[in-house]
């Protein structure tokens, strides 16, 4: 079940001083000086990609030759040709990524990986949009809805605990979306399809001398597969870059988004299986209105031939007003959210000459994330308030520093130690009761990390890594609220990975990994709790095996596929629930599959097919309510290049018309959200 934190109103704080100081410090980002160590470092690249070649330098992406973990990327040609309703759905094509599809208005769904589910109780993935943190307070990813396919340059997934660049929410790894920057182009994509879907996307790039401008305008409207699921979404963004000198570049961007969405609600099992397109009479007044804004200012500086600096300051704003009723027996709720997040990050990377080392790269980083949040909830009847159940205001501030070194004592060995330390501050006010509470004293959260690679040949890399990440409470769960009198310690995640990456001829790439991640004291949000409290899940262990393959045997033919096995168990449960020992964590399928083939018949006509599948999952942590959620979905696409400027694409989603669903347990019954049946989409892509 997804009942994301939604709230309203906040106390705006001055941010200019904090951002200015952060900008002046100019401490770190992870991929700046990599241009000067290209060939040898790429030799140990552990990344896997779908689509055309992706240039990493200058994009704010992970340098997989240093992080030495499972990094997966999707290129612009794949992303921009997609008919995905939401950007998070794109990543279902990447290895080991699980999609949880709620199909409830603004709570459309989310991605997760490494044995974490997408329920919203433990949000374990850090989201970056153009390099800036973009999670909401509870760790969800509403800002990802602002990104439309035509403006995406590359999408990246970094799995594991060894990436030191981020702390908060970076429990199992991170996801980064980079939008188009620079170039001269004018693109438009007009689409129409089943269930009343219409979409218009426009993107433009203007580059003249030292100045760059990029704009994107998107509109999407749909009647929805199910009754009472109409949606309208608008997005606009602008990016600007100025090369002030050969050594100094100033960047800025602004993005705004508005959505109005109906929610069809969850169905009982009988109704879902007999009439999957139905809604409930009691959901007729459920809807959500959401507005979001994002602003970024960046400065890149080349200090000398060995050192680079990258600094970002940013602000995100979320305004959400949701009415939702989860079952016939429950009351309708109004969940109102206003969140204003802002901060700064800076990275310094340089390559000094060090005796006894063939190559050495050192990186320092610092970040500041500040949140002003207010969460209000009401009980309502047909959107008329009957009582208030929550009125909370809370601030959260997380500051972190890290250092990372990449050392090569010879041609075949690479060692990358790193260390990150985060500190958390904040205050909480319960407006209804008039009580205040401090943040839990989490202390200095230490996260040592180590990665090692053996570069056996130009084609073969053996790699391993170990690291720590952390989880703190979300919402009110981060504060020392009575009757609690003892500070809650952070849950420390320890993870390791062993892997092999082969990059051969004919663009043959193969990667296989064995991984494990354990948490010292995992806690999960009570999603429907008026206070916003948490449950102690206890010590947990996750483990898995990933296998990925990509092959281009012919210039006109490419194939890719992946299989992931994962298991998530409760090792030592909370003393109040001893029976959960050894139980599987809910909503985590043990098997994930995806595969695809792309074939070009000639220069004008091309075809592609993609398969995504998963096994069933336990519905609850007690493992006694049955298993649900298995599916196999097949999509087909054909594209015809009419002329140099015009491409026509037809796509069939869920070709076999398989019934699939998201299911959760509300305490007394299963509740179901059916996925879309077979659908046809047709688009025209114009390029100038």
Asked if residue 430 lies in contact with residue 462, where contact means CB atoms within 8 angstroms, the answer is: no
Across residues 419-442, what is the average pLDDT?
97
Q: How far apart are CA 606 and CA 626, in angstroms?
A: 43
Instruction: Please write the tens of the pLDDT for every residue from 1-27.
Output: 444 333 333 343 333 333 333 333 333
User: What ranges in 212-334 are assigned the alpha helix state H?
Assistant: 269-274
pLDDT value of position 466: 98
Residue given tokens 């207010």 in the structure block: 374
DSSP class per residue in 11-37: -----HHHHHHHHHH----TTSGGGGG
In-domain check, residue 11: no
Among 424, 535, 432, 427, residue whose Cα is nearest residue 481: 427
- The span from the CA of 549 to the CA of 48, in Å, is 9
What was the pLDDT predicted at 44?
Answer: 84
Residue 685 above 70 pLDDT?
yes
Helix (H, G, I), strand (E, B) or coil at 175: strand
Confidence grade of residue 505 (pLDDT, cut at 50, 70, 90): confident
Output the pLDDT for position 42.
64
pLDDT digits over 397-413, tens only? Answer: 999 999 999 999 999 99
Residue at 194 is within a domain: yes
- Average pLDDT of every residue of the chain: 92
Which phi and psi angles does 273 have, rounded to 5°? -80, -25
User: Which 3 state secondary structure label does DSSP give 127?
Assistant: strand
Q: What is the pLDDT of residue 33?
A: 38
Tokens 């001893």 map to which residue? 578
| Rounded average pLDDT over 258-264 | 98
Within 13 Å of residue 600, how many CA atoms lie on the same side as its CB?
A: 11
The pLDDT value recorded for residue 58 is 60
Mean pLDDT of 80-104: 95
Domain encompassing residue 678 = 16-687
- Residue 599 in tokens: 């074939």
The two structure tokens encoding residue 64: 């997989």
8 A C-beta contact, residue 440 and residue 423: no
Pairing of the two strands 125-129 and 70-75: unpaired
pLDDT in tens, 219-259: 999 999 999 999 999 999 999 999 999 999 999 999 999 99
Q: Is the pLDDT of residue 31 over 60?
A: no
Q: What is the mean pLDDT of residues 587-600?
A: 97
pLDDT at 652 over 70: yes
- 594 located within any domain: yes
The tokens describing 499, both together, are 């892997």
For the cut 50, the answer to whether the pLDDT of residue 578 exceeds it is yes
Q: Is residue 6 part of a domain?
A: no
Residue at 7 is within a domain: no
pLDDT for the residue numbered 63: 82
CA angle (238, 240, 244) in 5-degree steps: 170
Higher pLDDT, 568 or 38: 568
Residue 594 CA neighbour count, 13 Å, CB half: 17
What's residue 366's pLDDT? 98
Contact between 46 and 65 (Cβ < 8 Å): yes
Give the C-alpha separation, 312 to 327, whole Å.
Answer: 44
Looking at residue 532, what is its pLDDT?
87
Terminal C-alpha separation, the chain: 44
Look at residue 194 and tell me whether its pLDDT is greater than 90. yes
Tell me the pLDDT tens digit for each residue of 370-429. 999 999 999 999 999 999 999 999 999 999 999 999 999 999 999 999 999 999 999 999
Contact 551/558 with Cβ under 8 angstroms?
yes
Token reading at 577: 């629930």
Q: For the segment 153-193, what is each residue's pLDDT rounded down to a tens digit?
A: 999 999 999 999 999 999 999 999 999 999 999 999 999 99
In-domain check, residue 430 = yes
517-565 pLDDT tens trace: 999 999 999 988 888 889 999 999 999 999 999 999 999 999 999 999 9
Give which of 137, 129, 131, 310 is closest to 237, Cα–Cα: 129
Count other Cβ atoms within 10 Å, centred on residue 503.
21
Q: What is the pLDDT of residues 324-344, one digit of tens each?
A: 999 999 999 999 999 999 999
Q: At 150, which CATH number? A: 2.40.170.20
Does the residue 492 lie in any domain?
yes
User: How much is the average pLDDT of 112-125?
Assistant: 97
5 found inside a domain: no
| Domains in the chain, number | 1
Q: What is the pTM of this model?
A: 0.93
CA distances, 142 to each of 11, 128, 436 (Å): 21, 12, 28
What is the distance between the alpha carbons of residues 34 and 138, in angstroms, rounded to a whole number? 34
Question: pLDDT tier at 32 (50, 70, 90 boundaries)?
Answer: very low
CA distance 258 to 319: 10
Paired strand residues for 438: 427
| pLDDT confidence of residue 56 | 62
Q: Residue 452 is inside which H or E element, if any?
A: strand 445-454
pLDDT value, residue 515:
99
Residue 36 reports pLDDT greater than 80: no
Q: Which of 224, 198, 205, 235 is nearest to 683 (CA)?
A: 198
Residues 359 and 43 sit within 8 Å (Cβ to Cβ): no
């Amino acid at each position: 079940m997804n009942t994301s934190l939604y709230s309203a109103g906040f106390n705006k704080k001055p941010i200019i001083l904090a951002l200015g100081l952060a900008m002046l410090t100019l401490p770190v980002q992870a991929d700046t000086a990599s241009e000067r160590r290209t060939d040898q470092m790429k030799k140990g690249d552990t990344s896997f990609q779908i689509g055309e070649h992706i240039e990493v330098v200058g994009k704010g992406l992970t340098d997989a030759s240093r992080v030495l973990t499972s990094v997966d990327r999707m290129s612009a040609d794949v992303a921009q040709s997609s008919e995905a309703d939401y950007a998070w759905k794109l990543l279902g094509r990447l290895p080991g990524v699980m999609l949880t599809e709620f199909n409830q208005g603004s709570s459309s769904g989310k991605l997760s990986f490494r044995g974490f589910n997408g329920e919203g109780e433990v949000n374990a993935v850090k989201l970056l949009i153009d390099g800036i943190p973009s999670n909401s307070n509870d760790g969800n990813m509403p800002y990802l809805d602002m990104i439309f396919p035509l403006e995406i340059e590359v999408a990246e997934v970094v799995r594991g605990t060894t990436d030191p660049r981020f702390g908060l929410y970076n429990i199992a790894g991170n996801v980064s979306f980079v939008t188009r920057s620079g170039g001269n182009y004018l693109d438009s994509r007009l689409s129409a399809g089943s269930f009343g879907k219409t979409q218009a996307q426009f993107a433009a790039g203007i580059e003249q001398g030292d100045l760059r401008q990029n704009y994107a305008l998107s509109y999407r409207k749909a009647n929805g597969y199910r009754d009472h699921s109409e949606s309208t979404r608008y997005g606009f963004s602008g990016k600007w870059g100025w090369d002030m000198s050969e050594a100094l570049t100033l960047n800025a961007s602004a993005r705004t988004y508005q959505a109005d969405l109906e929610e069809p609600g969850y169905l009982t099992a009988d109704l879902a299986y007999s009439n999957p397109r139905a809604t409930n009479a009691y959901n007729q007044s459920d809807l959500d209105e959401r507005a979001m804004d994002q602003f970024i200012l960046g400065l890149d500086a080349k200090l000398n031939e060995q050192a680079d600096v990258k600094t970002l300051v940013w602000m995100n704003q979320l305004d959400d007003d949701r009415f939702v009723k989860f079952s016939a027996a429950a009351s309708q709720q109004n969940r109102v959210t206003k969140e204003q997040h802002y901060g700064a990050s800076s990275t310094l990377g340089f390559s000094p000459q060090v005796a006894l080392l063939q190559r050495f790269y050192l990186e320092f980083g610092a970040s500041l994330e500040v949140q002003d949040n207010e969460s209000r909830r009401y009980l309502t009847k047909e959107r008329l308030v009957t009582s208030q159940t929550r009125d909370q205001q809370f601030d959260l501030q997380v500051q972190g520093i890290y250092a990372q070194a990449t050392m090569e004592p010879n041609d075949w060995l690479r060692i990358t130690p790193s260390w990150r330390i985060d500190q958390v501050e904040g205050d909480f006010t319960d407006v209804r009761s008039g009580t205040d509470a401090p943040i839990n004293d989490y202390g200095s959260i230490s996260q040592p990390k180590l990665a090692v690679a053996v570069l056996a040949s130009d084609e073969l890399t053996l790699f391993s890594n170990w690291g720590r990440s952390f989880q703190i409470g979300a919402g009110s769960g981060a504060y020392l609220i009575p009757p609690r009198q003892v500070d809650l310690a952070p849950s420390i995640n320890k993870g390791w990975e062993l892997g092999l990456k082969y990059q051969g001829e004919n663009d043959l790439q193969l990667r296989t990994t064995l991984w494990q991640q354990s948490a010292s004291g995992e806690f999960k949000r009570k999603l429907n709790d008026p206070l916003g409290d948490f449950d102690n899940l206890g010590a947990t262990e996750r483990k898995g095996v990933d296998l990925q393959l990509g092959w281009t045997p012919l210039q006109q033919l490419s194939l890719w596929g992946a299989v992931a096995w994962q298991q998530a168990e409760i090792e030592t449960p909370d003393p109040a629930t001893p029976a959960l020992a050894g139980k599987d964590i809910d909503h985590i399928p043990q098997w994930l599959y995806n595969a695809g083939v792309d074939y070009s018949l000639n220069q004008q006509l091309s075809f592609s097919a993609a398969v995504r599948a998963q096994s069933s999952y336990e519905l609850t942590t007690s493992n006694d309510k049955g298993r649900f959620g298995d599916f196999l979905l097949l999509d087909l696409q054909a594209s015809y290049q009419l002329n140099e400027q015009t491409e026509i694409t037809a796509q069939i989603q869920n070709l076999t018309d398989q019934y699939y669903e998201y299911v959760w347990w509300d305490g007394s019954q299963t509740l179901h959200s059916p996925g879309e049946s077979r659908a046809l989409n047709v688009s025209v892509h114009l390029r100038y």
